[in-house]
Structure 1
Amino acid sequence: MKVFVTGASAGFGAAIASRFAAEGAQVVAAARRTDKLTELGERVHPLELDVRDREAVQQAIATLPEDFAEIDVLVNNAGLAKGLEPAAEADLDDWDQMLDTNCRGVMYCTRALLPGMVRRGRGHVINIGSVAGSYPYPGGNVYGATKAFTHQFSLNLRSDLHGTGVRVTSVEPGLAGGTEFSTVRFDGDSQRAAGVYEGVQALLPEDVAESVHWVANQPAHVNVNVVELMPVAQSFAALSVDRR
């Protein structure tokens, strides 16, 4: 199996790349920061890549080494949240960065690798979404919208790929620790980021990696459309009512 993982330098991406490599897969680990990619093992091909750059994505995939060229599984993991301000106070640069990474990055990588999968009559696109795409929360505005895009894009890909043998799954985690997610969201404020997980046994990157590995290893006739997972400590909040 040949696997292409974006955002592979840390968090979910590093855990996913390691999980597949441990099972003998050949893994292309793509990230903007390549210094950590060499730590993933010899079965991993490090690739410096910014998924927001359409030409760079096309060039990188077109020039993959022969041993890694025919990708069986694409894991669109690269993504981020920036800020937690209400929409009326949000930073437009943060919104642009989330749209460029979480939406355009997914589109660019998918579009570059999909023709080969269709031509070979097999393959699997696994998009890392979030429960934020289904359940809104204050300050989630554009981040949640980008993950709703991921969910719906995955379902629409399934329709487009009907009869091709290519599978599509959206994996949608809830509260997850052990990543740089909240540190990035809060512009490096590690104390504020740590507070998100205080007193909570959150999901770990390895939990998400296990879900991704599981869906990719189902029999070829089985497509898992959506996987939604939360830590037991997280559930659904009551609807808010503004009483005047």
Structure 2
Amino acid sequence: MEGAATILGSGGFIPTGRRETSSLLIRPAGGDTAIVVDAGTGIRRLITDRALLEGRTRVEVLLTHFHLDHVCGLAYLTELGDLDVSVRGPGAALYATSTADVLARLFTHPIMPVTLPELGIPVGELAPGEAEVGGVRMAVRRQDRHTDPTLGLRFGDALVWCTDTQDDPGTVGFARGARILAHDAWGPPAAPGHAEPAGAARIAVDAGAEHLVLIHVPPTADEADLRARAAAVHGAVTVAADGLELLDL
């Protein structure tokens, strides 16, 4: 995959001055589409720094799951009315309920004064298997080692994004040969459904990933400690921060 992949939100659950909650912006080389993975509070950067979307007329939002720290930023899409925005999620594939119906629980009165259909934002499905979004071929994997199932995403051999999952042997094959593995890392102690840094590093080693990036890190994380625990297992580790350009690593 050619282009740029910028972390908009590198933290988990609680936004801080340094880290918003989970969101990734992918700007493929050429074309007019921006891909956004998850809509945590980090997605607000698309409004407060519109240069991030320069030259893009479409925004496709892909949701890995529906926990609040990954979908609360959908409300901010009200401020992107000049762009063609769509949302896809794993409702049907993971929870036997359409994504539109899941999100309608949030985008309805009295929680939200406007619905996604009223905003002109279509809502579709994202399922395990192969997919093409914004001209980018990607692979999608079901992850069952979280408190609710989630999706892992692979963008060619450039980047694998595995948030909100414990270290899972099934991730090894999915991520094998990828240059960058961005993997959930919370703890120690690990929160339920999350991986500790050393566990994420073992997955990266077994998959042969060139570089490990720790994502969805705790709001009060000791970054040096997180990195040291992972670096004891894998030789190239970065603790994600907002604004990190993944494809430049």
TM-score by length of 2: 0.34
Q: Structure 1 or 2: larger strand share?
A: 2
Q: Structure 1 or 2: larger helix share?
A: 1
Mark the structure with the bigger radius of gyration.
Answer: 1
TM-score by length of 1: 0.34
